[in-house]
Amino acid sequence: MNRNPDDGEPLLAVDHLSMRFGGLVAVNDVSFAARDRQITAIIGPNGAGKTTVFNCLTGFYAPSVGRLTVSHSGQRWWLERMEAHRIAGAARVARTFQNVRLFGGMSVLENLIVAQHIKLMRASGFTLAGLLGLPVYRRAERAAVELARYWLDRVGLVDVADWQAGNLPYGAQRRLEIARAMCSEPRLLCLDEPAAGLNPRESADLSQLLTFIRDHHRIGVLLIEHDMSVVMAISDHLVVLDYGRKISEGPPAVVRHDPAVIRAYLGEDEDESESEDRADG
Amino acid sequence: MNPTTAVTATSRVQTLDWSAALKDAGLAGLVALLLTLPLVGLRTIEVQSRLTVEPHLAEVALTALLVFLGRLGLTLAAAGLARPVLAAATLALAAGWVLPFPTEALRVLMVIGALVVALRALWALHRRHDRLSQQERDRRMDHLGARFQDATRLIGPAAVMLAVALPFLPFADRATLDLGILLLTYIMLGWGLNIVVGLAGLLDLGYVAFYAVGAYSYALLAQTFGFSFWLCLPLAGLLASFAGVMLGFPVLRLRGDYFAIVTLGFGEIVRIILLNWANFTGGPNGIAGIPRPSFFGIADFTAAPEPGRLAFHQLFGLQYTPLHRIIFLYYLILALALLVNLFTLRIRRLPLGRAWEALREDDIACTALGINRTTIKLAAFAIAAMFGGIAGSFFATRQGFISPESFSFIESAIILAIVVLGGMGSQIGVVIATLLVIGLPEVFRDLAQYRMLTFGAGMVLIMLWRPRGLLAHREPTLLLHPRQSAFRRQAEAGGRP
Ligand SMILES: Nc1ncnc2c1ncn2[C@@H]1O[C@H](COP(=O)(O)OP(=O)(O)OP(=O)(O)O)[C@@H](O)[C@H]1O
Ligand SMILES: [Mg+2]
C-alpha cells in the first residue's frame, strides 16, 4: 500500500508476491494495487507470470512469499491464507480463464445460475426447503434468473440462453464467461486475456462491455491482455511484468513511453495478440 | 473396427484391392499362428510322472486358418462384397454347429467369428446407401435422444402405470414378479449410483459396498435387537450414508482414475471385512433367517399367524397365497425406486444438483465460483450411499439370507455398466440399460455359459456404437424461453448456431 497516491485503502493490494516452481521463479517480488471502479491491466510478454499472479490471487496456487489483501465493505481478507472457494465466496473475487472454462454440457442460462450457487444454496435451505418446494426458494430462483437475464442482455446472449454452452461460437463463450463471473456478484473481477481469439469488432465490443462494468457496477477490474488496442483504450492503470518481475507501472500514457517497457515488450512484437494457449489451471 | 478396415471402407467398391486384402488377412493369420503356437500348440502333459510336450499342431493350423478367413471376410464385407460374405458367414455358422472339431474352443471360435463377420456384412448392407461419419451418427443419435426425451413425458408415466398394474396382469406368475423385483432393485441401484457417476461425474467402482452395509445393517439390527423392517430401513440408509461420508472424507481429494481405484479398494475392503469378521457378520456363511417385512407392522404374510398377530389375508379377507408377500415386496421396491427417481428429478433443479453437474463439467470453474467441491461431492456420495443402503436392506429382507458373495466387485461393475450404458445422467436410460443388462441374460438363462460372454460383447458393441451411452441427451433444468426450447432445436440443427 505504498505506491498509490489515491485516497483510502485499495481494493486489492499485492505486496511482495513471489511464486516459485522448483527452480523457476515465475513471479518475483511483485507489488501493486488495484482500486475500486478502475481497470488495472497487467501486461507482459508470454511467460511473464501474469496468469500465475491470477492463480495466486484466486487461491489455485499458494504463493511462496507475499501478502494479498482485499478490502471492501469494511472488511479485509488475506487471500494467501484462504481456500480457493472462500476467496470467491467471501472475499468476492471472481475470475475468468485464459482457456475458457464453461460448463459446456449445460445451458447458457444454467451456467449463470450455477454462478449464483452460494446465494441459492442458502435460499434453498441447503436443499431442504428446495426439496419441499417452499416459496422462499422459488422467489430466490426467479431473482437469480432475472440477474442472469440482465447479464445475458449486456453480453448479447439472450436469444441463445437455452443453448448448450459448449456449442456457442468462441467469442460468445468468452462473453458468457464474463457474464458468469459477474453473476457471482464480485467486488474484484479478474479477466485473463478476454480478447484472445476475438476479431477486431468483438474486441471493440469487449472494451465497451468492460468500461460499462467499471462505470456502472461497484467493482474493480484486473485485466490481463495482450491486445494493446484494448489495453490502451480502457485501462486506468498499467502494471508491466517481464520474467516475473514488475518492470514498470503507471497510467497507460506514461507506461507506453517507458524505455524499459519498450525494450522488454512493446519493441519486440507489439501487435502479437494471439498467445499460445497454456494450461493455466 | 480397426483403422485398416475403416480406410478400405471409405474407398470401397471401385477398386477392391485383392492383394492388399489377402496380405492383410495373411498377416492376421500369421499373428494368430504365432500367438497360438506357444499357448495352444504345445501342451505339457504328464506321462509316467514325467513332463513331456505334446504338440497340437492341427488346432494351431485351424485357428490360424479361421482367423485368416474371418479377417478376409471382414475386409471384403467392408469393401462392398457384403452379400457373398454374408452367405459364406452364415454357412460357416451352420457348419460350426455340426462339424466335428478337435476341441470345443475351436467350435466357439468358429461360431462367434462367423457371427461377427455376418453382423459386419449385415451392417455394411444396411448402410450401403448412407455412409455416415461418426460425428453425423452421433448427431442423429442425439436427435433421437431428444425425441425420446420428449417421449418420456408419456413413456415415463406409462411405464410406471404398467409397473403398477403388472401383478394383476394375467401372465404375472411368481417368476415374472421375481424378475420384476430383480429388475427394480437394479434400477434403484442404477438411479442411486447415477447421482454420483452421472450427475457429479465421480467414477465410483465400489458402490456395492453401500449396498452391503445396508443389507448387513438390516440383518444385524433385526436379529440382534429385533427392530422391525420399517425402523431398520431408514437406519440402514443412515448407516450406509455414514459409511459414504467416512469413505468420502479421505478420498474426495483424489481425482479421476485415482478416485476410481480407491473406491474399488473400498468395495473390496468392505467385502473382506464381512468375510473375516466371522463372529459379527457370520463370515462366509452369511446371515440366515432374516425377518421378512410385515404389512406396515399391522399384519404378517403367513398362512398361520402367531397368537396375537394378524395375517395379511385375514386382514383383507382373502384366500391365503404365498404370492401376497411377493406382490408386497414388488410394490415396496417399486415405491423405493420411484422415490429415488423423484428425488433425482427434483434435485437436478436445485442448486445442489446443478452444482453436481457443474462439477462434472469443470471442477476448477466451480471452485472459482465459490463452490466448495468437497462438501458438494460429499453430499453426492452420502445421498447415493443412502439409497444404496436402503436397496441393500430391501435385498436382505427379500432374500432372507445374505453372504459376502452377493456383494462382489462384479455387482459394482454391473451397476456401473447400467449407468454408463444408459447414458450418464439419464433416468430413463438406466431403466432401458437395466432391461438390457439384467433382463436379457435372465431371459436367456439357457445359454448359461455364454451369458457373461454375450454381456461383455454387448457392452463393447454399445460402447463402439455409442460411446456416450444410449440416451446421452440432456435437457436443461430451466429455460429462459420455455415455449421454444431452443436447446432441442439446436440439437436438431446439429449444434451449429
Ligand atoms: N504449475 C506450474 N508449474 C511449473 N511452472 C509453471 C506453472 N505455472 C506456470 N509456470 C511457469 O511460470 C511462467 C509464467 O507462466 P504464466 O502462465 O504465468 O505466464 P503468462 O504471463 O500468463 O503467459 P501468457 O501470456 O503466455 O499467458 C512460465 O514459465 C510457466 O512455464
Ligand atoms: Mg497467461
What is the pLDDT confidence band of residue B239, given thresholds at 50, 70 and 90?
A: very high
pLDDT at A113 over 80: yes
What is the pLDDT confidence band of residue B13, given thresholds at 50, 70 and 90?
A: very low
pLDDT at B383 over 60: yes
Q: If DSSP codes are grouped into helix, strand and coil, which group holds residue B446?
A: helix
pLDDT score at B453: 64
- Indicate the residue of B346, B368, B496 with minimum beta-carbon distance to A88: B368
Residue A194 Cβ contacting ligand 1 at under 6 Å: no
Q: If DSSP codes are grouped into helix, strand and coil, which group holds residue A167?
A: helix
Q: Residue B429 and residue B241: Cα distance in Å, rounded? A: 25
Q: What is the side-by-side order of every strand in the sheet holding A65-72?
A: A24-34, A12-21, A65-72, A75-78
Residue A48 Cβ contacting ligand 1 at under 6 Å: yes
Kindly state the average pLDDT of the residues B49-64: 80
Ranking A213-227, A256-270, B175-189 by mean pLDDT, the lowest is: A256-270
Q: What is the per-residue pLDDT across B426-436, written as a single tens digit (0 to 9) for each?
A: 788 888 888 88
pLDDT score at B215: 93
HSE at residue B229, side-chain half, CA atoms within 13 A, is 24
Chain B residues within an 8 Å CB radius of A106: 354, 357-358, 361, 474, 476
Among residues B4, B33, B462, B377, which one has the least CA distance to residue B201?
B377
pLDDT at A208 over 60: yes
Q: Residue B404 and residue B268: Cα distance in Å, rounded? A: 10
Q: What is the per-residue pLDDT across A158-196, written as a single tens digit (0 to 9) for each?
A: 888 888 898 899 999 999 999 999 999 999 999 999 998
Which of B480, B490, B496 would best serve as a mutation to test chain A binding (most A beta carbons within 10 A)? B480
Ligand 2 mean position, distance from CA A245 (Å): 15
Kindly state the average pLDDT of the residues B164-189: 87
Q: B356 or B13: whose pLDDT is higher?
A: B356
Ranking A83-87, B148-152, B442-446 by mean pLDDT, the lowest is: B442-446
How many residues make up chain B in this entry? 497
> Which residue carries 432391461 as its cell?
B435
Residue A55 Cβ contacting ligand 1 at under 6 Å: no
Kindly state the average pLDDT of the residues A22-44: 91
Q: Find all residues with CB under 8 Å of B104, minimum gap 6, and list them.
A: none
pLDDT score at A265: 64
pLDDT at A281 over 50: no
- Angle at B469 (CA atoms; ends B463, B472), nearest 5 degrees: 150
pLDDT score at B72: 87
What is the pLDDT confidence band of residue A151, given thresholds at 50, 70 and 90?
A: very high
* Segments making up each domain of chain A, as ranges: 8-92+186-281, 101-185
The highest-confidence range among A218-232, A263-277, B117-131, B143-157, by mean pLDDT, is A218-232
Nearest CA in chain B to A182: B369
What is the pLDDT confidence band of residue B160, given thresholds at 50, 70 and 90?
A: confident
Q: B496 or B365: whose pLDDT is higher?
A: B365
CA distances from A155 to A150, A170, A198 (A): 9, 13, 14
pLDDT score at B76: 84
Ligand 1 mean position, distance from CA A51 (Å): 6
Kindly state the average pLDDT of the residues B309-336: 80
Q: What is the CATH number of domain A8-92+186-281?
A: 3.40.50.300
Q: Which of A27, A28, A50 to mutate to test the pocket of ligand 1 (most atoms within 8 A of CB)?
A: A50
**Is A107 within 8 Å of A164 (Cβ atoms)?**
yes
Cell of B151: 417421449
pLDDT at A6 over 90: no
CA distances from B96 to B92, B93, B451 (A): 6, 5, 19
Q: Would you list the DSSP string of A236-278?
A: SEEEEEETTEEEEEE-HHHHTT-HHHIIIIITT-TT-------
Among residues B193, B148, B240, B251, which one has the least CA distance to residue B415?
B193
Give the ligand whose atoms come closest to the C-alpha of residue A28: 1
Percent of chain B topping pLDDT 70? 81
**Is A240 within 8 Å of A44 (Cβ atoms)?**
yes
Ligand 1 mean position, distance from CA B297 (Å): 66
Q: What is the per-residue pLDDT across A224-275, written as a single tens digit (0 to 9) for each?
A: 998 888 888 899 999 999 988 998 899 988 888 888 888 876 555 444 444 4
H/E stretch holding A56 reads helix A50-57
pLDDT score at B2: 45
pLDDT at B81 over 70: yes
pLDDT at B366 over 90: yes
Cell of B106: 475351436
Interface ipTM: 0.87
Q: If DSSP codes are grouped into helix, strand and coil, which group holds residue B474?
A: coil
Percent of chain B topping pLDDT 90? 20
Question: Do the two domains A8-92+186-281 and A101-185 of this chain adopt the same fold?
Answer: yes
pLDDT at B33 over 90: no
pLDDT score at B492: 47
Q: Residue A190 and residue A58: Cα distance in Å, rounded? A: 9
Residue A211 Cβ contacting ligand 1 at under 6 Å: no
Q: Would you list the DSSP string of B61-117?
A: HHHHHHHHHHHHHHHHHHTT-HHHHHHHHHHHHHHHHHS--SSHHHHHHHHHHHHHH
Kindly state the average pLDDT of the residues A193-217: 90
- Indicate the residue of B365, B485, B490 with minimum beta-carbon distance to A167: B490
Average pLDDT across chain A, whole number = 86
Q: Find all residues with CB under 8 Å of B110, minimum gap 6, and list them.
A: B66, B92, B95, B96, B99, B101
Q: What is the per-residue pLDDT across B42-53, written as a single tens digit (0 to 9) for each?
A: 777 777 777 777
Q: B233 or B152: whose pLDDT is higher?
A: B233
pLDDT score at A268: 52
Query: For residue A44, which atom of ligand 1 is closest to its CA?
Result: 21
Kindly state the average pLDDT of the residues B349-355: 92
Kindly state the average pLDDT of the residues B73-102: 81
The CATH topology of domain A101-185 is Rossmann fold (3.40.50)
Phi, psi of A138 (to 5 degrees): -60, -40
Ligand 2 mean position, distance from CA A237 (Å): 19
Q: Residue A73 and residue A186: Cα distance in Å, rounded? A: 12
pLDDT score at B455: 67
**Where are any strands of DSSP class E within A47-175?**
65-72, 75-78, 93-95
